[in-house]
Amino acid sequence: MINCVNKLGTISVGDSNPVRIMGILNTSPESFYKKSISITKQRIVDAVNKMEEEGADFIDVGGMSTAPYLSTMVSEKIEMARIVNAVKIIQHTTNLPISVDTCRAAVAKEALELGVDIINDVTGLKYDPFMPKIIEKYYPSLILCAYSKKIITGNQLLETRQLFKKSLEIAKSVKIPRTKIVLDPAIGFFRKKGKNSFFTKINSDWVKRDLLILENLRSIKLNMPLLVSVSNKSFIGKILKKENPSDRLAGSLAAEVVCVLNGANIIRTHNVAETKEAIRTAQKIS
């Protein structure tokens, strides 16, 4: 079966399209990767310009860290203010499609009112009961992560597929076609315990879960484009025994290359230039 060609914002993804790069811009001081944080107007402008020059296809902006192992919950008002401020600056800096990383309907609504193209919901539309209605009204492209409010105890590949299917059903119920959706297997978001509501509880080893998913990306794609975000994440720290996320560049690039060779269509990364070069080289060799 041939992958359907989807669009994320204005950019075609999947099938025979090139692997796309999504650059990460965090406006939350509490984010785990400190180099990705841009708060002042000049820092945001500089970060966006740099990512565009380095070859990013999208800018993904977040206003609240959702790392499961951090106590990073902020009020909806704070997250909204950060997102709105950043989106306005980004829109005056670049024409690249903007993805907003939020699982709160009110925040998504404010961003969509500003003309944002994409909503990246780490809970796959399952956290905020008002999110589907907002999505229905504004009709954006979606990045839907695997997520469950219940503990996952079964086969992780099968369960991830099922979680994707449930999110796709929600999207379908509010008339968002599959051609406007990309799936994300939520690397780093399946844990035995955490400090917020944005991760999925499992009763098995979370590093093994992430590695299993990355080894078997094609088996979970559901004939959909797949976005993978592994940049500087904890499983790389575990493998390399690197506690500081800033020391995980080489591991990140290795993991991103493997993801692409295993079927990923979009790589979400803190390291746009390095990621793009690593992928280009790997594709020439493979």
Q: What is the pLDDT of residues 97-119, one digit of tens each?
A: 999 999 999 999 999 999 999 99
Instruction: List domains and CATH numbers for the chain.
Output: 6-285 (3.20.20.20)
- pLDDT value of position 195: 74
What's the half-sphere exposure (Cβ side, CA atoms, 13 Å) at 231? 25
Report the distance separating Cα 84 and Cα 82, nearest Å.
6
Q: Which residue has the higher pLDDT, 23 or 5?
A: 23
Phi, psi of 228 (to 5 degrees): -125, 135
> Where would I find the H helices in 174-271?
206-215, 217-220, 234-240, 249-261
- pLDDT value of position 18: 95
Q: What percent of the chain has pLDDT over 70?
A: 95
Please say if the pLDDT value at position 220 is more than 90.
yes
Please say if the pLDDT value at position 150 is more than 80.
yes
- pLDDT value of position 2: 44
Please say if the pLDDT value at position 3 is more than 50.
no
Please say if the pLDDT value at position 80 is more than 90.
yes
What integer is the mean pLDDT of 160-187?
A: 98
Please say if the pLDDT value at position 124 is more than 70.
yes
Task: Output the six-digit token pair for 76.
Answer: 């909806």
What integer is the mean pLDDT of 241-250?
A: 93
Please say if the pLDDT value at position 1 is more than 90.
no
